[in-house]
Amino acid sequence: MKKLSESMPDAVRSILARRSVRRFHRDRPVEDWKRDCILASATSAPSAKGIRPFRFLVLEDRSILDSLADALSQGVIFKEATLAVAVCADLSSYPKDSLGWLEDCAAALENMLIAATSLDLSSVWFGVYRRSPKEEQVREVLKVPSHVEVQGIAVIGYGMEELPPRDAIDPQLVGIGSWNMAFEKSK
Ligand SMILES: Cc1cc2nc3c(=O)[nH]c(=O)nc-3n(C[C@H](O)[C@H](O)[C@H](O)COP(=O)(O)O)c2cc1C
């Protein structure tokens, strides 16, 4: 596996360094300016047709993070995290036949994780949409109305573990040209 150049741009370095961390220093809050950088990254995500249906719920009060931890069967992660951002989509006037909002939300969530990495924070993507019973539990705690979907939650904090960054292309995942040339060479 050929390693990438050491002089890669900072943005690429942060993308490759992002790993899922699930344990955080509970007594070390995310600074306001870092939170604001993360939120600016979220609201700057691309959006299909420029509709921008995404809405971001900032969860940093200990009481709401603890409520999520207590209510969710997989909620232990919120016990230590000091910042979470729930990525929602307001579908009240969104085209009924379009799933663009789901892609918009995913782009915004990934933007936040990369921004967090670049700010020396750790993070993990907490999947919510169509994941029962998590979805119902999250909606209940956050009091989300029926015209709003919750796509996922970026869970962020100062991490208690350090996972190695990636530093190369994974050749199993990349092929050149048409599908049969790239991935079905033996057929
Ligand atoms: C759509 C999506 C949903 C995910 N949901 C969860 C989750 O609910 N809980 C969790 O601990 N990790 C979740 N993850 C993180 C993945 O488990 C993680 O990205 C994967 O194991 C690869 O590890 P890495 O992020 O360190 O590269 C999710 C990731 C994605 C993209």
pLDDT for 5 equals: 78
Ligand 1 is surrounded, with C-beta below 6 A, by 19-20, 22, 124-127, 163
Tokens of 81: 């995290």
Please enumerate in sequence order all residues whose Cβ is within 8 A of that of 20, keeping only pairs 6 or more positions apart, or say none.
123, 124, 125, 163
Mutation choice for ligand 1 from 18, 20, 135, 170, CB with most ligand atoms inside 8 A: 20
* Closest to 25 (Cα-Cα) out of 118, 157, 117: 157
In the Cβ-directed half-sphere of 187, how many Cα atoms lie within 13 Å?
6
Does residue 1 register a pLDDT over 80?
Answer: no
Task: State the Cα–Cα distance between residues 80 and 180, nearest whole angstrom.
Answer: 46
Share of the chain above pLDDT 90, in %: 93
Determine how many CB atoms are found less than 10 A away from the CB of residue 160: 14
Domains of the chain plus CATH, in order, are: 10-183 (3.40.109.10)
pLDDT for 13 equals: 96
Does residue 187 register a pLDDT over 70?
Answer: no
Q: 126: CA distance to ligand 1 center in Å?
A: 7
Contact by Cβ (8 Å): 43, 50? no
Does residue 118 register a pLDDT over 80?
Answer: yes
Does residue 157 register a pLDDT over 70?
Answer: yes
pLDDT-derived band of residue 4, with 50, 70 and 90 as boundaries? confident
Determine how many CB atoms are found less than 10 A away from the CB of residue 163: 12
Determine how many CB atoms are found less than 10 A away from the CB of residue 55: 17
Relative to the CA of 131, which ligand 1 atom is closest? 8
pTM (2 d.p.): 0.96
Task: State the Cα–Cα distance between residues 141 and 67, nearest whole angstrom.
Answer: 7
pLDDT for 182 equals: 94
For ligand 1, atom 23: residue with the closest CA? 20
Give the tens place of pLDDT for each residue, 57-108. Answer: 999 999 999 999 999 988 999 999 999 999 999 999 999 999 999 999 999 9
